[in-house]
Amino acid sequence: MVILERSDFSKLFKLLKEQGYQIIGPTVQNEAIVYDELDSPEDLPVGVLDEQSGGHYSLKQTRESHLFSYVVGPTSWKRFLHLAELTLWTAKKDGDKLHIQAENSKAPRYAFLGVRACELAAIDIQDRVFLQGEYIDPHYQKRRSNIFTIAVNCTRPGGACFCSSMNTGPKAKQGFDLSLTEVYRKSQHYFVLESGSKKGEALLAALNAPAAEETQIAEADRALEKSAEKMGKEMPVEGLKEVLERHFEHPYWEEIAKRCLNCANCTMVCPTCFCTTVEDVTDLTGDVASRVRRWDSCFTVDFSYIHGGSIRASGMSRYRQWMTHKLARWQDQFDVNGCVGCGRCITWCPVGIDITEEAAAFRKIDKKARKRQKKLAS
Stretch that binds ligand SF4, among 3-11, 82-90, 172-180, 270-278 (CB under 6 A): 270-278
Q: Is 320 in the site for ligand SF4 (CB under 6 A)?
A: no
Does residue 34 bind ligand SF4 (CB under 6 A)? Answer: no
Q: E-strand spans in 239-371?
A: 276-282, 288-295, 305-306, 309-310
By C-alpha distance, which of 377, 143, 129, 172 is closest to 275?
Answer: 129
Among 266, 316, 328, 359, binds ligand SF4 (CB under 6 A): 266
Q: Name which of 193 and 345 has its Cβ closer to ligand SF4.
A: 345
Is 111 or 270 the residue whose CB approaches ligand SF4 more closely? Answer: 270
Polymer length of the chain: 378
Distance of CA 135 to CAs 54, 80, 132, 314, Å? 37, 20, 8, 31
| 69 contacts 49 by C-beta, under 8 angstroms | yes
33 binds ligand SF4 (CB under 6 A): no
Q: Is 3 in the site for ligand SF4 (CB under 6 A)?
A: no
- Give the CB-side neighbour count of residue 325, counting CA atoms within 13 A: 14
Nearer to ligand SF4, 200 or 315 (CB): 315
Alpha-carbon distance of 299 to 277, in angstroms, equals 13
Site map for ligand SF4, 326-365, x if CB under 6 A?
A: x------------xxxxxxx---xxx-x-x----------
One-letter amino acid for residue 73 of the chain: G
Does residue 310 bind ligand SF4 (CB under 6 A)? Answer: no
Q: To 5 degrees, how large is the angle CA 363–CA 261–CA 122? A: 60
- Distance of alpha carbon 253 from its chain centroid, rounded? 26
CB nearer ligand SF4, residue 48 or residue 270: 270
| Secondary structure (3-state) at 342 | coil
Q: Which strand (E) or helix (H) includes residue 4? A: strand 2-5
User: Using CB under 6 A, which of the segments 11-19, 28-36, 61-69, 266-274 binds ligand SF4?
Assistant: 266-274
Instruction: Pick from 34, 107, 207, 263 the residue near ligand SF4 by CB under 6 A.
Output: 263
The residue among 194 and 358 lying less far from ligand SF4, judged by its C-beta, is 358
Interacting residues with ligand SF4 (CB under 6 A): 260-266, 269-272, 299, 326, 339-345, 349-351, 353, 355
